[in-house]
Amino acid sequence: MTKIHQSFSELIGNTPLLELHNYRRNRGLDARILAKIEYFNPAGSVKDRIAWGLIKQAEDEGRLRRGDLIVDVTSGNTGIGLAAVAASRGYRTKFYLSDNISRDKVKLLQHFGAEIVTVKNEFFLDPEALEKISARIREENPAAFFTDQLSNPANPQTHFETTGPEIWRDTNGAVDIFVGGVGTGGTISGAGRFLKSQKAGLKVVIAEPAAESLPTEDNPYPDEIDGVHKVSEVPPEQLPRNFDTTIADEIIALNTVDARATARALAAEEGILAGTSSGAVLWAATQLAARLENAGKIIVAILPDTGERYLSTSTEQAQ
């Protein structure tokens, strides 16, 4: 008999690696690019991993009981993952999110029963924004469990225990370069730390938005790469505490136009409909694969979520 799973959490992780043969051939790349497709997680993104990790830790510590409220700040995917896991285990959810989040993500949060509090995007230009929003969440929800995804060490630890080992196992230890973006910093820090512990000389590379894709006081609502944040030349207080600032061997900047174009190319050439952040990561991986020194190497690019979460945004940008 086929295995019958008994809980939502059993469906999380062990996402596939897909070698992008068409994409590589069409660009004449000498390195191999393997995409780790995280939308195979049950709620559709890499954040399902930490959603379960954060909630499981709280349950193990006796900090959550059925009917309790879970709160956090989110750019969408962690909230969706938390809301899905919470729904499966009898908890309520409430999330604070910027008002520039795609309508698709907002609708998904609502479908999972989450309460939403929107915050003006320009608020996050404040160097102390992360501390202020965390303080506000705690003040307005004193009895709730604040998962604190940006600072909770269970976030990168989950990727150290799952994402990194899966990549190592599925490449038989042949991975040479690991590429990702930084949202909370958990994926790149946790998986990167594991992979570096297994192989001397392995490189970790971060894709980050260029200046024209970042909000400013004059333009608080640019066309952003949703969920991918700048980490170079950023004051420490503006970085997520879960981001290991020593993990990256290189940081590659790109604009949103390139991220969107790469995501569209991935869909058209490989049949993989991934999000804008995935396009950003793959664009960076492509730059690495084009370098002579990386010929024959294996590059693993983490694709955080599905492009279905950005269809309204992509359509608006195309008009």
Pairwise CA distance, residues 186 & 50, whole Å: 8
Type and span of the H or E element at 80: helix 77-89
Catalytic, 47? Answer yes
185: amino acid identity, one letter:
G
Q: Active site includes 312?
A: no
- Fill in the DSSP letter of residue 241: T
Number of C-beta neighbours around residue 242 at 10 A: 26
Q: Is 184 left (phi over 0), alpha (psi -120 to 50) or beta?
A: alpha
Pairing between strand 250-254 and 203-209?
A: parallel
8: DSSP letter: G
Q: Which candidate in 9, 45, 75, 277 is catalytic?
A: 277
Task: Take residue 92 and report the two structure tokens written for it.
Answer: 């309520």
Q: Could you say which of 9, 36, 45, 47 is catalytic?
A: 47
Q: How far is CA 29 from the centre of its chain?
A: 26
Q: Which amino acid is at 142?
A: P
The order of strands in the sheet holding 250-254 is: 17-19, 32-37, 298-303, 177-181, 203-209, 250-254
| Integer Cα distance of 184 and 199 in angstroms | 25
Residue 93 contacts residue 79 (beta carbons within 8 Å):
yes
Question: In the chain, what is the greatest distance between 2 CA atoms, to the nearest angstrom?
Answer: 61
Supply the residues annotated as catalytic.
47, 277
